[in-house]
Amino acid sequence: MASACTKYELRCNECGKSYGNQPLSACSECLAPLEVQYDLESVRGRFTRETIAAGPANIWRYKELLPIPEGFLPDLPVGFTPLVRAKNLGKRIGADHLYVKNDAVCFPTLSFKDRVVSVALANAQAFGFTTVGCSSTGNLANSTAAQAARLGLKACILVPADLEYAKILNTQVYGARLVRIDGNYDHVNRLCTLIADEYNWGFVNVNLRPYYAEGSKTVGYEIAEQLGWKLPDNVVCPMAGGSLIRKIRKAFKELIALGLVEPKDVKFFGAQATGCSPISHAVKQGWDYIEPQRPSTIARSLAIGNPADGPAAAKMIQETGGWAEDVSDVELVSGIQELAEAEGIFTETAGGVTTAVTARLYAQGRISRDETTVVCITGNGLKTTDALEGRFTAEASVKPKLAAFDEYIRAVDGDLIGTGELQLAGGVR
């Protein structure tokens, strides 16, 4: 069997200059981000609905269009998360064909970052790095620490000092060195650029960023496959660095080019927290550039004030005829609760942002109720329980006696008893 390897290399987004394959994220001529480009013809015939269906039930079923080095043997079953019909949430917000792509349950660390880290670390090994790391707003830290442990790589991870406790613990438990930096994410990221050069470390979202970013395409492939090889009308996606939303579109374009789906102009809608909304602000202004902001929001996983892929994301959203919106911290907390109550999915602050923005887009009429819309839920609520602090008070305890319980439940929630009696009557009949 011919073991033809997919041809890919780094190219500059702006000027098109080629860089081969190396740990590098920006063009030396124009400083624009580098992006992995494929020779799509080299995979025609090897990337089909059939070859994909014959692959494993994880992101490696799409490995022909992922930048993984020759000889890399995929091991972790990352991704292939559920795409669920969200009828209840749809009813609440006036959407007839609403789906949730649920990366709150991604393996191994419960966010979509598991996808990007697995692709980045495959390359870190091939480039010979023995220490890896990242600058992170939390989820990336968790995933890098976990996957480095499994691969036997040393990990050094830098985060803003004010990160949620659960995200810090979820990094340290894997034995990674975690360094809290006095500053916001943008300070941390700049420092990481210097560190990566100084010590020759492989930082997944710095010098390995072009490879890392390709991992996000798997969200797009999965959405198309799980819709029965059809594209939705709209995608609503949270934005931090602005990478994920662009890569979902890239995935759709590749599927169209290779004939796996019918061509369709999918609209992309970006979601941010108002306290850090440089990309949604740019879209609303009609800009193709970003005015950096100083983040101030509890949606820390989205709190990147100077997003690397922000200009490209803003431009892309406008090209597709989509839109971007941002919501307050109060609204995002309601969004968390809304998704949990309607669909039984507990998401983190970023998912609260995405849910609240989706509701607003329907209310504004930017998305109409008969269209098919996929909402990308990217992280798990158990990591940001601080956001809900004070929402649910611990009630007084009750004696272990039926009479005591009966008195209590009638006082606090008499409606519950009503339904209980009905079911009992039905059972006896």
Ligand X SMILES: *Cc1c(COP(=O)(O)O)cnc(C)c1O
Question: Can you give the binding site for Zn ion, defined by CB under 5 A?
Answer: 12, 14-15, 17, 27, 29-30, 32
Q: Which does 30 bind (CB under 5 to 8 A by kind): ligand X, Zn ion, none?
A: Zn ion
Q: How far is the CB of 310 from Zn ion (least distance, A)?
A: 17
Which one, 43 or 290, has the nearer CB to ligand X?
290
CA torsion sign, 292 to 115 to 123 to 10?
negative
Strand order in the sheet with 97-102: 83-85, 97-102, 372-377, 234-238, 267-273, 323-327
Q: Which does 162 bind (CB under 5 to 8 A by kind): Zn ion, ligand X, none?
A: none
Which one, 15 or 422, has the nearer CB to Zn ion?
15
Q: How far is the CB of 78 from ligand X (least distance, A)?
A: 15
Local structure of residue 60 (DSSP, 8 states): G
Q: Which does 239 bind (CB under 5 to 8 A by kind): Zn ion, ligand X, none?
A: ligand X
Strands (E) located in 92-218: 97-102, 131-135, 154-160, 177-181, 202-203
By the 8 A CB rule, do 206 and 193 touch? yes
Q: How far is the CB of 202 from ligand X (least distance, A)?
A: 18
Q: Which does 238 bind (CB under 5 to 8 A by kind): ligand X, Zn ion, none?
A: ligand X
Residues 6+ apart with CB under 8 A from 2: none
Q: What is the C-alpha to C-alpha distance for residues 17 and 30, in angstroms, rounded to an integer?
A: 10
Helix (H) or strand (E) holding 402, with range, is helix 402-428
Which one, 246 or 360, has the nearer CB to ligand X?
246
Q: Which does 278 bind (CB under 5 to 8 A by kind): Zn ion, ligand X, none?
A: none
Q: What is the C-alpha to C-alpha distance for residues 183 and 48, in angstroms, rounded to an integer?
A: 46
How do beta strands 131-135 and 202-203 pair? parallel
Q: Which does 158 bind (CB under 5 to 8 A by kind): ligand X, Zn ion, none?
A: none
Which one, 186 or 348, has the nearer CB to ligand X?
348
Which one, 123 or 216, has the nearer CB to ligand X?
216
By the 8 A CB rule, do 214 and 8 touch? no
Local structure of residue 392 (DSSP, 8 states): S
Q: Which does 124 bind (CB under 5 to 8 A by kind): Zn ion, ligand X, none?
A: none
Please list, residue by residue across 218-251, b when 16 or more beta carbons sit within 10 angstroms of its beta carbon and e when fewer do.
bbbbbbbbbeeeebbbbbbbbbbbbbbbbbbbbb
Q: Which does 12 bind (CB under 5 to 8 A by kind): Zn ion, ligand X, none?
A: Zn ion
Q: What is the dihedral of CA 420, 421, 422, 426, to 10 degrees?
A: 100
Binding site for ligand X (CB under 6 A): 111, 113, 139, 238-244, 301-302, 348, 350, 378-379
Q: How far is the CB of 243 from ligand X (least distance, A)?
A: 3
Q: How far is the CB of 413 from ligand X (least distance, A)?
A: 34
Which one, 43 or 317, has the nearer CB to ligand X?
317
Which one, 178 or 350, has the nearer CB to ligand X?
350
Q: How far is the CB of 192 from Zn ion (least distance, A)?
A: 22
Q: How far is the CB of 428 from ligand X (least distance, A)?
A: 48
Which one, 30 or 416, has the nearer CB to Zn ion?
30
By the 8 A CB rule, do 131 and 202 touch? yes
Q: What is the C-alpha to C-alpha distance for residues 379 and 45, in angstroms, rounded to an integer?
A: 34
Q: What is the C-alpha to C-alpha distance for residues 119 and 90, in angstroms, rounded to an integer?
A: 34
Q: Which does 29 bind (CB under 5 to 8 A by kind): Zn ion, ligand X, none?
A: Zn ion
| Number of residues that this document lists for the chain | 429
By the 8 A CB rule, do 216 and 116 touch? yes
Q: How far is the CB of 24 from ligand X (least distance, A)?
A: 19
Which one, 15 or 363, has the nearer CB to Zn ion?
15
Q: Which does 15 bind (CB under 5 to 8 A by kind): ligand X, Zn ion, none?
A: Zn ion
Nearest Cα to Cα of residue 378 among 236, 261, 193: 236
Q: How far is the CB of 143 from ligand X (least distance, A)?
A: 9
Strands (E) located in 212-304: 234-238, 267-273
Q: How far is the CB of 304 from ligand X (least distance, A)?
A: 7
Which one, 29 or 291, has the nearer CB to Zn ion?
29
Strands (E) located in 282-401: 323-327, 372-377
